[in-house]
Amino acid sequence: MKKTEDEWKAELSSEAYNILREKGTERAFTGKYYQNKGRGVYTCAGCGQEVFQSTSKYDSGCGWPSFDKPMNVESVSEQMDKSHGMYRVEITCSNCGGHLGHKFNDGPIETTGERYCINSAALKFDKEN
């Protein structure tokens, strides 16, 4: 998916643009989906691709929505992120390249052992009826 930065700026809120296009982050415990318990599908706020299911969401206590796995292996891409003096795995939408958050290996051991720490502003939630 190719768009100019002007097109992205026109379509996204300033917070979503900062996160998705400039690899920003929202403050912990402030995102609209942090405590969302609804059933449904989380999509990329940039392009609408399905990226996470509510059934994989759990309360990690980290301050951001956390998931133990993506919708499927093709829905997200992973890159090494060495910014801010840390080594982390950056998670992006595989369709539009938007920054979603990071993956850590401190998730629930009874499932995948992974924690996908995702910014609420990078997501939209499609509630199940």
Residues acting as catalytic residues: 117
Tokens coding 69: 């796995």
| Torsion sign (Cα): 104, 45, 76, 2 | negative
Q: Of 125, 94, 122, which Cα lies nearest the Cα of 21?
A: 122
Q: Are 114 and 26 in contact (CB under 8 A)?
A: no
